[in-house]
Amino acid sequence: MRQINVAVIGPGWCGGIRANACAQHALVNELHLAEIRPDRLAEVAAETDPTSTTDNWEEYIADDSIDAVIISTTPENLHYPMTRAALAAGKHVLVEKPIATTMEEADELIAIAEGNNLKFTVGYSQRFKEKFAFVHKAINDGTIGEPVTCLVSRNVTRELGNKITGRTKLSPAAMEATHDLDFLLWCLQPRKPIRVYSQQAGKLFKQKSDTPDHQWIMVTMDDGTTITVGAGWILPLGYKNYSQCWIEVIGTEGALTIDDTHKEVQINRVDNGIQYPMSTMPGEPVDHVFAGPMKVETDRFIEAVALDRPVLVTPGEARLVMDVYVAADLSVERGEPVTLPRNDPTAVAAQ
């Protein structure tokens, strides 16, 4: 059995989960951690017993014994230069979403990965949840006939909204709806998105910045199926990083309704009222198990590298998601629908 050596760059909230998954995986020999916050580095090192730690991520890029790199840093504009350096050095990469900040950067990364024959995937963790996999299966095995329309509405707490908007200017489409756009585009393959319309609303965060509170995105696919994805980040605090999501898929022969609002487990305490544990997007460790998708997603990446298996989320798919959320933001700006692909003159002519 071939074991691999993995470096996690940026073991904050998500990177900490990734590092713990690596530390527990039988196919990982050495774990290395690069983090610029000494307190956080010490915390994750205590949990994972890494082979080495550093505050200089470039040391691991230069280290030929490291096979794979997981890039979990914020702010998000670090993803491109770090991914580029790792791929150019011949390392397999899992990068958190977004893959990059521009389409040109994404194209360059995909070309380097292909040229060097490397596994390259993007952290669209929701695909690794049982309920979401069930929707994918039910659409693809014909259970509900031909899909007609799909809706995903997601809202997270204002605490998380503050964290995200504090570090980046990216919109709810780019930072949050991106997961659900990826999910629905994956479910509906090989259909392609051809038109995007989007509207934002903002009353709370607008008091302090130009950040919206919520964004709706409507996408038309090339066979006429419609997608509606909503993403907001101003829910009252209820549980740290709480996320609630509701899915409806209507088909010609049936319908799917998925409640992912995490109300099935409640704790009600005198000191802080009702709380919903295990309700964050990546999930959390619970004693000997992990409740949520991020550990299994990390395991799949390790296995793809060590056992030469395909990755589930391809970088080309992540690029298509970026195309859609960039079009959504353009639609907000223009107040009108945007046709995809945006650089295809025949698509404009056909409108």
Ligand X SMILES: NC(=O)c1ccc[n+]([C@@H]2O[C@H](COP(=O)([O-])OP(=O)(O)OC[C@H]3O[C@@H](n4cnc5c(N)ncnc54)[C@H](O)[C@@H]3O)[C@@H](O)[C@H]2O)c1
Q: Which residues bind ligand X (CB under 6 A)?
A: 9-10, 12-15, 34-37, 40, 57, 72-74, 76, 78, 96-97, 123, 125, 281-282
Q: Are strands 68-71 and 4-9 parallel, antiparallel or unpaired?
A: parallel
Distance CA 185, CA 191 (A): 8
Q: Based on CB atoms, which residue is closest to ligand X, 37 or 334?
A: 37
> Minimum Å distance from CB 102 to ligand X?
16
Q: Based on CB atoms, which residue is closest to ligand X, 124 or 197?
A: 124
Q: Based on CB atoms, which residue is closest to ligand X, 221 or 297?
A: 297
Q: Based on CB atoms, which residue is closest to ligand X, 147 or 292?
A: 292
DSSP string, 12-78: SHHHHHHHHHHHH-TTEEEEEEE-S-HHHHHHHHHHH--SEEES-THHHHS-TT--EEEE--SSGGG
Before 282, cis peptide (omega within 30)? no
Residue with the CB atom nearest ligand X in the bound state: 12
> Minimum Å distance from CB 17 to ligand X?
8
Residue with tokens 């991020």: 294
> Minimum Å distance from CB 310 to ligand X?
20
Beta bridge partners of 219: 196, 227
Residues 238 and 232: beta-carbon distance below 8 Å: no
> Minimum Å distance from CB 78 to ligand X?
6
Other beta carbons within 10 Å of 23: 17
Q: Based on CB atoms, which residue is closest to ligand X, 33 or 110?
A: 33
> Minimum Å distance from CB 238 to ligand X?
17
Helix (H) or strand (E) holding 109: helix 103-115
